Amino acid sequence: MTIVHVTGARPNFPKAAPVIAALRTHGLDQRLVHTGQHYDDKLSEVFFRELDLPRPDVNLGVGSGSHATQTATVMVALEELFLADRPSLVVVYGDVNSTLAAALVCSKIGVPVAHVEAGLRSFDVTMPEEINRKVTDALCDLAFATSPDAIAHLSREGVPAERIHLVGNPMIDTLLAHLERFDPAPVRAAHGLDGAYVVATLHRPGNVDDRAQALALVQAIHKSADLAPIVVPLHPRGRARLLELGFADHPGVRVVDPLGYVEFMSLVRGAVAVVTDSGGVQEETTVLGVPCLTLRPSTERPVTITHGTNKLVRAEVLADELRAVIDRGRPEGWPVPPLWDGHAGERIASILADWLAPDTARDAARDRPATPATPATPATGQ
């Protein structure tokens, strides 16, 4: 009985870490496959060092490419891997191309799939991640939801109720487990921040691919940087276009390379606000109580708005919204979504172990030596 975890990009690692750790207590054999969709040290390797993740058993090293190229390359490599050494179950995380590729391969060769973070929907089909989510959920055998709205989406799409489990958010498990390590002081000193500051993460196609949209983003960030310094760990995606448009020319915009998990979360914890188009950052700020302004027209994580500190904003009003956040200050109390309590990984591991247990029993019975027949007993109802 072997469980294979497929990870590929930065957001996958803090989601996978608590699940892998919790499954160790159940004595199940596990393998970790890293597709190499993200391969920069700060987007990949640092997570294995900082989150106590086991080193990948396999690194496919697929690298970057178009959505089609990257997905196809991962599919070819995973199919060969799974046919040579067939797993009992594959666990996929989030909504990256590696997630979709693994779900497609498993569905074709008859390997069960569990999807961690199932049911999230932005209802914006121009986002590649939305397509990845919907297809993965249609193919998975176990759907682990982080919030009640995700369960509603899965039900409307016809996913049987017995496949759906509300478990909480394993990314928050990782955040809470390392909370004491998130010290803003050394990070502030390293970046020369002696007062209020803002953190920004920006990489979505809708913000950085189109030149006009990217220019509007640059202007919005510059106007916002008049209010407080903005530290931007700039993702490789869109970096060239933003810099070409003068993104780093404002003295208040401090562009830095992508940061490791602990350093980044320390920076976020000490910020007066975060500006983002990332999904995971909306969740992390929700738990940390850091006001979050999400530069997108919609979010697949509406629970971070109803039960957190998140707000959707447009580029043209970003500076005004940021000024209001700075004037209000950090909230003293805020709601947190149900089951975001640091134990999602344990719930997922327990469900996986129970789900696999019948197969284990059948295999054990099949392998036992034959015994003399005994009289049949009446069956009992279940």
**Active-site residue numbers?**
203
**What stretches of 302-378 show up as alpha helix (H) in DSSP?**
303-306, 318-328, 344-367
Task: Give, in order, the Cα–Cα distances in Å from 184 to each of 263, 265, 350.
Answer: 8, 8, 35
Cα–Cα distance, 77 to 74 (Å, whole number): 5
Length of the chain: 382
Cα atoms in the 13 Å half-sphere on the side-chain side of 44:
18
Work out the widest C-alpha separation in the chain, in whole angstroms: 86
* Amino acid (1-letter code) at residue 192: G
Residue 116: name the closest of 138, 134, 99, 97 by CA.
Answer: 99
Neighbours of 377 (CB within 10 A): 6
Contacts of 116 (CB under 8 A, 6+ apart): 15, 16, 19, 91, 92, 93, 94, 144, 170, 348
Rounded to the nearest 5 percent, the helix, strand and coil shares of the chain are 50, 15, 40
Backbone angles phi, psi at 176, to 5 degrees: -70, -35
Scored b (16 or more CB within 10 A) or e, 270-288 reads bbbbbbbbbbbbbbbbbbb
Computed on alpha carbons and rounded to an integer, the radius of gyration of the chain in Å comes to 22
Cα–Cα distance, 328 to 321 (Å, whole number): 11
Residue 97: name the closest of 76, 124, 77, 69 by CA.
Answer: 69
Task: Give, in order, the Cα–Cα distances in Å from 57 to each of 17, 137, 301.
Answer: 15, 26, 32
Please give the structure tokens belonging to residue 283.
């969740």
* Amino acid (1-letter code) at residue 163: R
